[in-house]
């Protein structure tokens, strides 16, 4: 079955829709990190995006494309947290009713924020129930439009605007490291990189415990794994999307993996040296850069920080406990 892939023009169209709604997030550097690693690292800080993560870009772009009938009927989505908040906030802005399917063990902060944006939440067990099936069932029953968290052209093109802004601000990069769960941010970033910096190597980074995309790339087809046990809750996806994988397969340089312990070290660096709260999933990209730095000496390296939505109590626990349970 052939798949119609979005292109860079779709990313540019998403950027126009997002004008006046999404923040143009800052690009920051750390002198001490640059000196330590022998690189120039440029951080695209999507932890400062509306609702605290890059997901707002894709969520708003998708809902902004709705017909009047779709807007009236409402939207349904599933998410562990950031896509949930993105759809809920975007729906609130655009006056669209929203229902979000979220795991019972989702971050309390993400649950609270999603409710505060006015969405109706339907809970499920992420280890025994199929969130997509629940969401699609609600869409069929109630006439709502289902917007998945990553495997959707409007969503991934919206996500690609973060890398577009980065390239437009800093110019060509030698390498770009992108946090990877279902592949929306990575596939959108690849579309932007192909147009703005075709010689830049783009790497996806996923948890070592949940390397489904790495396995899929090696095998040449999508691989499904058990729900990963990792502190990177935004990357607990069992299988990459069909649309996102096709773009990744064609354009990505490689996939890196990092451990939960490396994520905690990256969280600590952000907090201590850059004075930022970054959620574990958002630390994937930096953790991989630190790991790969000896092979990239002298490079200009982009790092997309995907988000900063983490409960402060959980944040403190992770930084104070050197070996927390990955499943906690």
Catalytic residue among 80, 90, 175, 285: 80
CA distances from 162 to 38, 190, 272, 283, 285 (A): 25, 11, 25, 16, 14
Same domain for 217 and 275, yes or no, is: yes
Distances (CA, A) of 23 to 11, 45, 73, 87, 161: 16, 10, 28, 16, 11
Q: Mean per-residue pLDDT for 37-50?
A: 98
**In the structure, what pLDDT confidence band is assigned to residue 327 with cuts at 50, 70 and 90?**
very low
The answer to whether residues 135 and 274 belong to one domain is no
Is 232 found in the same domain as 181? Answer: yes
Catalytic site residue from 44, 55, 187, 189: 55
Helix (H) or strand (E) holding 46: none
**Same domain for 243 and 211:** yes
Return d(Cα 253, Cα 178) in angstroms, integer.
Answer: 11
Predicted confidence at residue 273, as pLDDT, reads 96
In a domain, 2, yes or no: no
| Residue in the structure block whose two tokens are 């979220």 | 102
Boundary of a domain, candidates 82, 113, 146: 146
Q: How far apart are the first and last CA of the chain?
A: 40
pLDDT at 328 over 50: no
What pLDDT does 140 receive?
96
Q: Is residue 70 part of a domain?
A: yes
Which residue, of 146, 169, 196, is where some domain finishes? 146
At 175-217, the pLDDT tens digits run 999 999 999 999 999 999 999 999 999 999 999 999 999 999 9
**Beta-carbon count within 10 A of 77 CB:** 33
Q: Are residues 85 and 47 in the same domain?
A: no
At residue 201, the 3 state secondary structure works out as strand
Residue 3 within any structural domain of the chain: no
Say what the pTM is.
Answer: 0.94
- Residue 81 is predicted with a pLDDT of 83
Q: Identify the CA nearest to 225 among candidates 281, 178, 288, 182.
A: 182
Range of the domain at 232: 8-53+152-320
Q: What does the alpha-carbon distance between residue 185 and residue 58 come to, in Å, rounded to a whole number?
A: 9
Q: Could you confirm whether 275 is annotated as catalytic?
A: no
Looking at residue 29, which CATH number applies to its domain? 3.40.50.1100
Same domain, 211 and 316: yes
Residue 327 lies in a domain: no
For residues 189 and 159, the answer to whether their CB atoms sit within 8 Å is yes
The number of distinct structural domains making up the chain is 2
Band the pLDDT of 226: cuts 50, 70, 90: very high
Query: Which pLDDT score, from 0 to 100, does residue 265 have?
Result: 97
Q: Do 256 and 185 sit in the same domain of this protein? A: yes
pLDDT, position 109: 79
Give yes or no: 110 in active site.
Answer: no
**Contacts with 42 (C-beta within 8 Å, 6 or more apart), sequence order:** 27, 28, 29, 166, 170, 173, 300, 301, 302, 303
Mark whether 163 and 22 lie in a shared domain.
Answer: yes
**1 domain residue, yes or no:** no
How far, in Å, are 26, 100, 131, 182, 294 from residue 210 at the CA level?
29, 24, 18, 11, 25
* SS3 at position 315: helix
Q: pLDDT at residue 325 above 80?
A: no
pLDDT band for position 1 (cuts 50, 70, 90): low
Provide the pLDDT for residue 322. Answer: 57
- Is 325 among the domain residues? no
In the DSSP assignment, the letter for residue 4 is P
Which of 84, 113, 146 terminates a domain? The answer is 146
169 and 287 assigned to the same domain = yes
Distance CA 4, CA 246 (A): 10
132 or 42, which is more confident: 42
> In this structure, are 158 and 81 located in the same domain?
no
The reported pLDDT for the residue numbered 326 is 41
Asked whether residue 326 is domain-assigned, the answer is no
48-107: pLDDT as tens digits: 999 999 999 999 999 999 999 999 999 999 987 899 999 999 999 999 999 999 989 887
- Residue 117 and residue 81 share a domain: yes
- pLDDT of amino acid 174: 98
Same-domain check for residues 91 and 217: no
């Amino acid at each position: 079955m052939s798949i119609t892939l979005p292109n860079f023009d779709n990313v540019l169209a998403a950027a126009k829709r997002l004008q006046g709604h999404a923040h143009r997030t800052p690009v920051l550097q750390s002198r001490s990190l640059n000196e330590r690693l022998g690189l120039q690292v440029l951080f695209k800080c999507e932890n400062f995006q509306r609702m605290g993560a890059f997901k707002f870009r894709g969520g708003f772009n998708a809902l902004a494309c709705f017909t009047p009938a779709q807007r009236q009927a409402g939207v349904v989505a599933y998410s562990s947290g950031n896509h949930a908040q993105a759809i809920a906030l975007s729906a609130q802005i655009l006056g669209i009713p929203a229902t979000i399917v979220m795991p019972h063990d989702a971050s309390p902060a993400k649950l609270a924020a999603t409710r505060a944006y006015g969405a109706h939440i339907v809970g499920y067990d992420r280890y025994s129930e199929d969130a997509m099936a629940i969401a699609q069932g609600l869409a069929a029953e109630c006439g709502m439009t289902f917007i998945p968290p990553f495997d959707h052209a409007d969503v991934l093109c919206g996500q690609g605007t973060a890398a577009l802004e980065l390239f437009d601000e800093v110019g060509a990069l030698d390498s770009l490291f992108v946090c990877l769960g279902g592949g929306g941010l990575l596939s959108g970033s690849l579309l932007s990189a192909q147009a703005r910096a075709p010689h830049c190597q783009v790497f996806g980074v996923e948890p070592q415990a949940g390397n489904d995309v790495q396995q899929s790339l090696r095998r040449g087809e999508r691989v499904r794994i058990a729900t990963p046990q990792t502190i990177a809750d935004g990357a607990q996806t069992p299988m990459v999307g069909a649309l996102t994988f096709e773009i990744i397969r064609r354009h990505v340089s490689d996939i890196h993996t990092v451990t939960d312990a490396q994520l905690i070290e990256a969280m600590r660096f952000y907090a201590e040296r850059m004075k930022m709260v970054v959620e574990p999933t958002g630390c994937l990209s930096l953790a991989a850069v630190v790991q790969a730095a000896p092979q990239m000496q002298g490079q200009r390296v982009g790092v997309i920080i995907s988000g900063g939505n983490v409960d402060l109590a959980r944040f403190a626990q992770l930084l104070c406990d050197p070996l927390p349970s990955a499943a906690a």
